[in-house]
Structure 1
Amino acid sequence: MILRHAAPALLGLSLIAGPVQALDLNAMNEAEKAEFGAQVREYLLENPEVIIEAINILEQRNAAAEAAADKDLVAANASELFDDGFSWVGGNPDGDITLVEFMDYRCGYCRRAIPEVAELLETDGNIRLVVKEFPILGDASVLSSRFAIATKHVAGDDAYRQVHDALLEFSGDVSDVTLRRIADGLGLDSDAIIAAMDSDQVTEEIAQTRALAQRLKITGTPTFVLGTEMLRGYLKADQMQEIADGVRAERG
């Protein structure tokens, strides 16, 4: 029977390339369907690599679709991502590409990312960094972000950078007392910063960043946006450099 000889080949093609129109299962009678099912089983048992190949292709297609969707999200929210008017800007402010980091001070992977981001900024030299305060790991995270943002309002960008780094290194319990000690240790006006932590402006900045993250479907930290690419999770410096080079190459 033609079906017996065609089934394995048709199955392989359908798994890899999609449905084969010449094979109409609805046109088969019950006996033919049973025989075809047996042939499919026999073929897969003899050639299990076909299943792995099909799964790999499906994963590649899904990853490509997700990357394309992320690019669309970045493009639709570009102004708030790259120039919201309140997030701290570091690296090379005049860089030709921007790295945005959504971070939480209590996030272990955010802490692991510190030297990787620093290495990328130093070795590349042409990357602008934007830090998004995105506290999602509980009350201590929110308290830390309020303190960092309040520091920026009260004492400026340089003081924010100092507090930002100190909070990422701090491993104790976060409270008004410990935050005051951090500010005092850096020579900052702790009274003014603590007083500013619950201001409407600080609250609004956190709310705007959370709303942006929701639109971008960001649920974890660290999450990076590098140029046009969304990077969901921790990456090493050389991986981010490769992506930055790719973004630049796309621009021509």
Structure 2
Amino acid sequence: MTRLAPLALIGLMAAPVQALDLTKMSDAERQAFRAEVRAYLMENPQVILDAVAVLEERNAAAQENADLTLVSDNADAIFNDGYSWVGGNPEGDVTVVEFLDYRCGYCAKAFDEVKELITADGNIRFIVKEFPILGQASLDSSRFAVATKIAAGDEAYDLMHEALMKYRGSTKPAALSRLAASLGLDPEPIVAALKDPQVDAAIRANHDLAQKLQINGTPTFVFGDQLLRGYVPLNAMEQIVEEQREG
């Protein structure tokens, strides 16, 4: 249904553009203008949804551009920190980085899909950023994982990392020692390495980096130059990797 505008509004619309300045309208003109706008929106509510959609698109584009800058400005710390575990193909043409917490349900959900992505692709360099944010059990698990890498090397870390992603038991040193032994690892040097200052330094550095990248949840991924907050399903990850390769 088409509405007939009030006479005051018709006069307003015929006036020069500057007359649309609400501060220069009379009370009657302002009231008529507001009434007509309200009536139009009530009859065409989709306009509001369209406007919201446009706003969301603009905000998403602004966030994406901001994230590109954040990744670029912190590239060395993200991709070449010298202490984070590097898996997959160390010479891969695309680097995927994951900030994770062992007690994060979505990290656990993503684990098998990330592993499948890396194994099936064969040309992805994968970096794990220990980022415990969900309490003491998370911190205990990350500290034990980092200590395992220090004490027993990358292969041992890989085993422990996978085990901890699925482990929901006690995170006391004795319990994690039993977990290490079940993987064929000697727990004694790992427990000793828990006292190494590098353990807490690595985790603290990851927290500092996350703050710079405006990361406050897990999982968070960096695919090449793209920063993605939250769980990403396998098919989406595959598409993003291809987009990174295409440039």
- TM-score of the superposition, structure 1-length normalised? 0.90
CA distance in 1, matches of 2:114, 2:11: 57
Identity rate, percent: 53
Alpha-carbon distance, 1:174 to partner = 1.4
Q: Gapped runs of 5+ residues in structure 1?
A: 8-19
Amino acid at match of 2:23: N
Report 1:1-252 matches (<5 A): 1=7, 3-4=9-10, 23-250=20-247
- Label 1:125 to 1:46 Cα distance change in 2 as closer, same or farther (>3 A): same
Q: Which amino acid aligns with 1:98?
A: T
Check conservation: 2:97, 2:127, Cα contact below 8 A: yes
The structural deviation recorded for 1:153 is 0.7
How many pairs were matched up? 238
| 2:123 alignment partner AA | N
**2: CA distance between counterparts of 1:90 and 1:230?**
19
Return the offset for 1:171: 1.4
Matches of 1:5 and 1:118, distance apart in 2: 67
Change (3 A) 1:21 1:138: farther
Secondary structure of the 1:198 match is coil
Shift of 1:28: 1.1
Counterpart AA for 1:130: I
Q: 2:12, 2:19 within 8 Å by CA — same for their partners in 1?
A: no
| Alignment RMSD | 1.6
Per-residue CA distance 1:140-164 (angstroms, 9 max, x = gap)? 1111111111111111100000000
Contact 1:4 1:39 survives alignment (8 Å) = no
After TM superposition, the structure 1 stretch with the greater mean CA deviation from structure 2, 63-72 or 239-248, is: 239-248
SS at match of 1:38: helix
Per-residue deviation, residues 185-218 of structure 1 (Å, max 9, x unmatched): 1221211111111211111111111100110111
Q: CA distance change for structure 1 residues 22 and 189 in 2, over 3 Å: closer, same or farther? A: farther
Which runs of at least 4 in structure 1 moved beyond 6 Å after TM superposition?
none
The separation in 2 between residues aligned to 1:6 and 1:92, in whole angstroms, is: 68
Read off the aligned partner of 1:107 and give its amino acid letter: C
Q: 1:155 to 1:56 in 2, by over 3 A?
A: same
8 A contact 2:12–2:20 mirrored in 1? no
For 2:240 and 2:183, locate their aligned partners in 1 and report how far apart those are by CA, in whole Å: 36
Alpha carbons of structure 1 residues 102 and 6: separation in structure 2 relative to 1, 3 Å: farther
In the alignment, what sits opposite 2:4? none
Q: Secondary structure at the match of 1:132?
A: strand
Q: Deviations over 1:123-178 (max 9, x none)?
A: 32221100000111111111111111111111110000000011111111211121
Task: Report what 1:12 is aligned to.
Answer: none
Letter aligned with residue 3 of structure 1: L
Q: Unmatched 5+ residue regions in structure 2?
A: 1-6
TM-score normalised according to structure 2 size: 0.92
For 1:110 and 1:4, how far apart are their aligned partners in 2? 59
